[in-house]
Amino acid sequence: MNHTEIDITSLVRSDEFVPFDLSNNCATLGNDAGRLTWNASIETAGSVASLIPTAEHKEAFRDFVASSGGWTREEIAAWTDTELDALLLQWIAGDVREAFDDADFADWDWAQYEKDCEAGRIAGRIFRADDGRVFFYIGN
């Protein structure tokens, strides 16, 4: 299994990134939640720079997605770059909402995030480097 980190600093600081719109549920958005969040993710993927910068990053993300068991390798291989970016956006948005609710980036509570990660309450794939950049870990 490949693993890597994706620099999401510019994404999470962008007005284009609205986690609520990209990852949500039927209780909040109704029965069309899946379609609505996927459409928003495709639209956002088309308006932000690609998050997956190299072929190696794409392969690592495809491996990561395959390990989830939600899709076959054949289905994953057929996805366009926009679809890969959209799914990555959804995954990042879900982890952001899980960790920081719908708080603005400036209000993210990194100390609480660390405690929640250590306690196993959240996935913990987001991390902040010493220089302030933010990354998303792709791997298991």
Range of the domain at 128: 4-138
The residue to which tokens 């970016």 are assigned: 85
DSSP state of 15: T
pLDDT score at 85: 95
Collapsed DSSP state (helix, strand, coil) of residue 133: coil
Collapsed DSSP state (helix, strand, coil) of residue 61: helix
Angle between helices 81-100 and 33-47 in degrees, nearest 10: 110
The predicted model scores a pTM of 0.93
Which contacts (CB < 8 Å, 24+ apart) does range 98-101 have?
Answer: 98/122, 98/123, 99/123, 99/126
Q: How many domains does the chain have?
A: 1
pLDDT score at 1: 56
pLDDT score at 44: 95
Residues 6+ apart with CB under 8 A from 111: none
pLDDT score at 31: 96
Strand order in the sheet with 134-138: 4-7, 134-138, 126-128
- pLDDT tens per residue across all 140 residues of the chain: 578 899 999 999 999 899 999 999 999 999 999 999 999 999 999 998 889 999 999 999 999 999 999 999 999 999 999 999 999 999 999 999 999 999 999 999 999 999 999 999 998 999 999 999 999 999 87
Give the type of residue at 138: I
